[in-house]
């Protein structure tokens, strides 16, 4: 208790030097929380968007289906049983039929994934009801990215060629019913959505689908001949991306923290040589050497407490402001799931973890120079003789 | 009864491959309430002897018994406790803690004794009254004159009512008027509380106040006599 009281007194008594160190450390502290808050905000938004637009609460895949292997698509389809039909009717599942196709926008050729989906579905955010709003039976919705790469607009027609279940090529003009905006590139890039019934008819695959998307109402349980893929599996790529970003961030945070800690280390080393007489006086007054080591260690570590308080003083209003307006990056199209505006998420766990990290590292770097005191001869210290 | 007993004390310091003998076969004893001093030229061993009595240093040979405790046998912790409970120090350069106020400087030793707040406050105010500095309790050391700083140091050494006060050249940085003032203060405290004061000095002004003068030369006691001046 005495060490803490004395340490804070010494620290505040040191004036500007203390506040310079504390300012640098508080900046590191706020930056670490800010960066991690951004990543966590991105993570949460990304996961939510991916669930809302693509994965739902999980998916049942045809056993042949592999999202990374286009060659599996041709044979990855099966009949929808009565049990599945009931769940579809209750909005617990929505079926999706997938086939490879080629679009010919303005004479060019582009491979696409043609996806059949129920226009009435309510599980995914895809504006599938737009498919019902046009007279033309062969209408499609596409994402903004797809529209840009193919230079298609609403009302345009594009020739699409596909192979039915027997391998026979067929082709037809499809009218673009609407263009949607989505933060999840895998829902958008190279994807064209048409009515499920229409695609089943085009493919001669009546009442068949490649996968079933589960909604929030889905009660769970297995479905015979379909493999359930949970969110952990479906979001694995996104999770890996976030982990990579976090790891990259840690390097930046590490550098930031090292700069701040170097300032404390430097101050501690200087203190121990500059304050030799003071150290000698402490010992003469009855402190043991280990108590003096403790005092100097706490003093160095206390920089981090002051940094946390200072960081809180300007960090909390800053974070609250950023949380209310979000951080807009324009319209990045980096091929990854990222919203135009990210709302950082600062959890209590993040703040406590950062606090512990900063306090612990500041205390450790303070301890090493302070250890030298334990080897000091108090009579030399009193005379300020040590080199 | 002797509270300090020094027998055949030798102190050597390593110098290069050899060593330098700072104190050579010292035999001395001090009773309670003495107002004594070590005098002699620079390098005669005055401060070294004072440091050993104050348990800031240890003998190379011989024994130094302070308050029935052998300095050589004390652990760091025991030595710190001895200093905190029984020994007060006064230094030539005052050695006040710069970021603390006068009150806090004097209070410091009592904090280590875990004394209650109210008792501590009374003790500090009493000590500052002895040295006539109750109007400076909120001042920082850099706002005090040399004489005032040394009076704070005296209050700090006396606040815990020690058995022994060790003063190393306490007047070296003071003018004549301030020197006499602090020496009178120390003499008064010595008589009032029966505290043993031991000085290390070569200041004639200090010698006039001492009851006993131990003269050291080249680490040896060359004379030990009562001072009747």
Determine the residue among B99, B105, B107, B158 to mutate to test chain A binding: the one whose Cβ has the most chain A Cβ atoms within 10 Å. B99
Residue A24: Cβ within 10 Å count: 19
Q: What value, to the nearest 5°, has the Cα angle with vertex A356 and ends A41 and A325?
A: 25
Angle between helix axes A348-370 and A236-274 (nearest 10 degrees) is 30
Distance CA(A123)–CA(A133), nearest Å, equals: 19
Q: Which residue has the tokens 């952990």?
A: A232
Distance CA(B12)–CA(B21), nearest Å, equals: 4
> How confident is the model over A68-104, as pLDDT tens digits?
898 899 899 999 999 899 989 988 999 999 999 999 9
ipTM above 0.90, yes or no: yes
What are the CA-CA distances from residue B203 to residues A35, A166, A328, B22, B95 (Å)? 66, 117, 77, 21, 20
Predicted model pTM: 0.71
Adjacent-strand bridge partners of B197: B35, B165
> How confident is the model over A17-62, as pLDDT tens digits?
788 888 988 988 898 888 888 888 888 888 889 999 999 999 999 9
Nearest CA among A357, A360, A362, A358 for reference residue A265: A362
Burial of A154 (0-12, 13-18, 19+ CB in 10 A): middle
Per-residue DSSP letter, B189: H
- pLDDT of A257 > 90? The answer is no
> How confident is the model over A315-354, as pLDDT tens digits?
999 999 988 888 877 655 666 667 777 888 888 888 898 8
φ/ψ (deg, to 5) at A272: -65, -35
Distance CA(A291)–CA(A6), nearest Å, equals: 11
Distance CA(A214)–CA(A223), nearest Å, equals: 12
Average pLDDT in the A183-187 region? 88
The count of CB pairs under 8 A between chains A and B is 63
φ/ψ (deg, to 5) at B3: -100, -15
Contact status, residue A10 vs residue B99, Cβ threshold 8 Å: yes
Residues 278-307 of A with CB under 8 A from B: 278, 280-281, 283-291
pLDDT for A333: 63
Which residue is closest to A12 within chain B, CA to CA? B99
Nearest CA among B107, B87, B88 for reference residue B97: B107
- pLDDT of A384 > 90? The answer is no
Average pLDDT in the B130-159 region? 94
pLDDT for A331: 56
**Predicted confidence band at A64 (pLDDT cuts at 50, 70, 90)?**
very high
Residues 6+ apart with CB under 8 A from A353: none
Contact status, residue A254 vs residue A37, Cβ threshold 8 Å: no
pLDDT for A387: 52
| Shortest alpha-carbon distance between residue B86 and chain A (Å) | 10
pLDDT for A330: 64
pLDDT for A10: 82
Instruction: Please indicate whether, in this complex, the C-beta atoms of B80 and A288 are within 8 angstroms of each other.
Output: yes
Distance CA(A312)–CA(A381), nearest Å, equals: 39
Whether A2 and chain B come into contact, CB under 8 Å, resolves to yes
Determine the residue among A17, A275, A284 to mutate to test chain B binding: the one whose Cβ has the most chain B Cβ atoms within 10 Å. A284
Determine the residue among B77, B97, B141 to mutate to test chain A binding: the one whose Cβ has the most chain A Cβ atoms within 10 Å. B97
| Shortest alpha-carbon distance between residue A370 and chain B (Å) | 17
**Predicted confidence band at A238 (pLDDT cuts at 50, 70, 90)?**
confident
């Amino acid at each position: 208790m005495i060490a803490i009281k004395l340490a804070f007194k010494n620290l505040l008594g040191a004036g500007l030097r203390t506040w310079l160190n504390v300012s640098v450390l508080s900046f590191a502290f706020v930056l670490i929380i800010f960066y991690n808050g951004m990543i966590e905000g991105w993570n949460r938004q990304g996961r939510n968007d991916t669930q809302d637009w693509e994965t739902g609460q999980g998916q049942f895949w045809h056993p042949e289906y592999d999202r990374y292997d286009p060659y599996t698509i041709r044979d990855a389809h099966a009949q929808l049983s009565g049990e599945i039909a009931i769940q579809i009717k209750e909005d617990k599942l929505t079926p999706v039929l997938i086939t490879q196709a080629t679009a010919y926008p303005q004479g060019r050729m582009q491979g696409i994934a043609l996806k059949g989906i129920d226009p009435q579905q309510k599980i995914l955010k895809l504006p599938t009801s737009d498919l019902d709003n046009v007279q033309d039976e062969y209408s499609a919705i596409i994402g903004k990215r797809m529209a840009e790469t193919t230079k298609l607009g609403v009302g345009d027609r594009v020739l699409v060629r596909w192979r039915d279940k027997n391998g026979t090529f067929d082709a037809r003009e499809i009218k673009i019913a609407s263009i949607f905006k989505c933060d999840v590139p895998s829902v958008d890039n190279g994807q064209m959505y048409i009515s499920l019934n229409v695609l089943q008819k085009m493919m001669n695959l009546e009442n068949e689908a490649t996968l079933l998307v589960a909604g929030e109402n889905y009660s769970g349980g297995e479905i015979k001949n379909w493999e359930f893929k949970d969110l952990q599996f479906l979001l694995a790529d996104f999770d890996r991306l976030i982990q990579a970003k976090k790891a990259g961030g840690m390097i930046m945070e590490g550098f930031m923290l090292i700069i701040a800690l170097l300032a404390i280390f430097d101050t501690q080393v200087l203190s121990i040589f500059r304050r030799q007489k003071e150290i000698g006086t402490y010992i003469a007054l009855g402190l043991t050497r280990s108590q003096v080591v403790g005092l100097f260690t706490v003093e160095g570590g206390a920089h981090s407490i002051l940094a946390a308080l200072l960081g809180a003083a300007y960090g909390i209003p800053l974070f609250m402001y950023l949380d209310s307006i979000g951080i807009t990056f324009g319209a990045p199209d980096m091929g990854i799931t990222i919203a135009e505006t990210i709302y950082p998420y600062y959890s209590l766990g993040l703040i406590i973890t950062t606090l512990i990290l900063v306090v612990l590292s500041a205390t450790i770097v303070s301890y090493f120079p302070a250890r030298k005191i334990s080897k000091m001869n108090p009579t030399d210290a009193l005379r300020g003789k040590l080199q | 009864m002797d509270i300090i007993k020094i027998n055949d004390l030798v102190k050597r310091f390593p110098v290069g491959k050899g060593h330098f003998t700072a104190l050579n076969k010292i035999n001395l004893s001090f009773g309670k309430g003495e107002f004594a001093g070590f005098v002699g030229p620079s390098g005669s061993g005055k401060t070294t002897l004072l440091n050993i009595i104050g348990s800031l240093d240890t003998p190379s040979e011989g024994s130094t018994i302070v308050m029935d405790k052998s300095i050589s046998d004390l652990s760091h912790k025991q030595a710190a406790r001895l200093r905190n409970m029984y020994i007060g120090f006064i230094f030539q350069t005052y050695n006040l803690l710069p970021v603390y106020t006068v009150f806090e400087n004097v209070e410091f030793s009592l904090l280590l004794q875990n004394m209650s707040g109210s008792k501590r406050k009374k003790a500090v105010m009493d000590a500052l009254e002895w040295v006539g500095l109750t109007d400076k309790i909120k001042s920082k050391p850099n706002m005090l004159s040399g004489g005032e700083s040394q009076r704070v140091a005296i209050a700090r050494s006396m606040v815990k009512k020690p058995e022994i006060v060790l003063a190393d050249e306490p007047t070296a940085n003071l003018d004549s008027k301030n020197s006499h003032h602090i020496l009178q203060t120390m003499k008064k405290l010595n008589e009032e509380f029966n505290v043993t004061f031991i000085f290390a000095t070569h200041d004639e002004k200090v010698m006039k106040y001492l009851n006993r003068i131990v003269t050291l030369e080249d680490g040896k006691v060359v004379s030990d006599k009562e001072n009747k001046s």
